[in-house]
Amino acid sequence: MKRFFSALLVLTALLACFSLTGMAEPVEVHGPRPADVSTIISVADVPLITLNNGVQVPQLGLGTQIQSLERDNGAADRELLNNTSHDAVVAALQAGYRHLDTAHGYFNERGVGQGIIDSGMPRAEIWVTSKLWPSEYGEGVTLAAIDAMLERLQLDYLDCIYLHHPAGDYVGAWKDLEKAYRQGKVRALGISNFDNWMDAFNAIVDDMEIKPQIMQIEGHPFAQRLETRTLAEKYGIQVECWYPLGHADDRLLSNDVLSAIAEAHNKSVVQIILRWHMQEGLVAVPGSTNPAHIQENIEIFDFELTDDEMVQIRALDRGEAGRYFNIDYQRMGGFFTTLNE
């Protein structure tokens, strides 16, 4: 009988360690963790979406990549890039955004972090995402890269960290992300562009202890990614779209169907596209450095698209042919060199 109760106590302890992933999650940190201070709330009517681990993400965010300024011509270029990103972040947070998306590969984390501070908005109310570069992947390597990322952003924790591309030692990187998650350095784990290499997707989703909460993919009315979205739903993974405005392609922004719907609602085509994302249940992170455009992008919660209008927009889907970005990672995985910041 004594052995029975001892075994029962052990079983109870093991069950208590099971996480929402359905796998045992060792407890590595006792007491308050950095991320425990988070108090994400809905601001400016932006809905919150609950991820598979229970944390909530604002459905609309600001993408901070500024490709035209990502030149590496010295400190002056990097200063301009970070200053521009800083000003965009301040404008967005003051307009009601509470979701910011950056990456080490954007070379602007310092500007984004300082923008958060200078905005005067409570950091605990802001969802901040960044992404690790493939040269930062690997057990031990990734944990150090996360600490460096937090230092650049001047933050104690991140709300989400993505593996930016399915190249390099993404399995080792994910194991380190799991450690950072348990330590409270990050509240959600994500994969970006892993839809482009299913071997990498399966290695993370099927074999790792903690499953992704969110995945970033290219998504917009010309590339609605129905197959990938169905796959994500199967695993309980939220889809977030970069290029939600189709890389500002004039063929999309001047589309007759979208223009007619915009006129009917007295809105811009951009607002119609972003509203479509919201009603599809997608998270979207449109990028802009123009304060007027940043404001316009968030003014999409005072109207709804009709069922018929949603059908019309869904009919614009061109499948994979509608995409603007598609890398063969199996052939080009060695492209990703070490970042110099």
Mind listing the pLDDT tens digit for each residue in 49-95?
999 999 999 999 999 999 888 876 666 688 999 999 999 999 999 99
Write out pLDDT tens, residues 232-252: 999 999 999 999 999 999 999
Is 5 inside any structural domain? no
- Total number of domains constituting the chain: 1
Is 21 inside any structural domain? no
Is 248 inside any structural domain? yes
Task: Give the residue numbers spanning the domain of 295.
Answer: 33-318
Separation between Cα atoms, residue 336 and residue 136, nearest integer Å: 10
Is 22 inside any structural domain? no
Is 338 inside any structural domain? no
Residue with tokens 């490709």, as numbered in its chain: 67
Is 336 inside any structural domain? no
Q: Which is nearest to 241 in space by CA: 281, 300, 297?
A: 281
Separation between Cα atoms, residue 164 and residue 109, nearest integer Å: 14
CB atoms within 10 A of CB 59: 22
Is 87 inside any structural domain? yes
Write out pLDDT tens, residues 79-137: 999 999 999 999 999 999 999 999 999 999 999 999 999 999 999 999 999 999 999 99
CATH of the domain at 140: 3.20.20.100
Contact of 191 with 216, CB cutoff 8 Å = yes
Is 116 inside any structural domain? yes
Write out pLDDT tens, residues 153-165: 999 999 999 999 9
List, in order, residues 6 or more apart from 167 with CB less than 8 Å away.
134, 137, 329, 332, 333, 334, 335, 336
Contact of 253 with 278, CB cutoff 8 Å = no
Q: Is 106 a catalytic residue?
A: yes
The kind and range of the H/E element at 300 are none
Contact of 313 with 305, CB cutoff 8 Å = yes
Identify the active-site residue in 97, 106, 162, 243: 106
Task: Please tell me the least confidently modeled range out of 10-14, 226-230, 293-297, 309-313.
Answer: 10-14
The burial of 85, by beta-carbon neighbours within 10 Å (0-12 exposed, 13-18 middle, 19 or more buried), is given as buried
Contact of 184 with 157, CB cutoff 8 Å = yes
Write out pLDDT tens, residues 156-214: 999 999 999 999 999 999 999 999 999 999 999 999 999 999 999 999 999 999 999 99
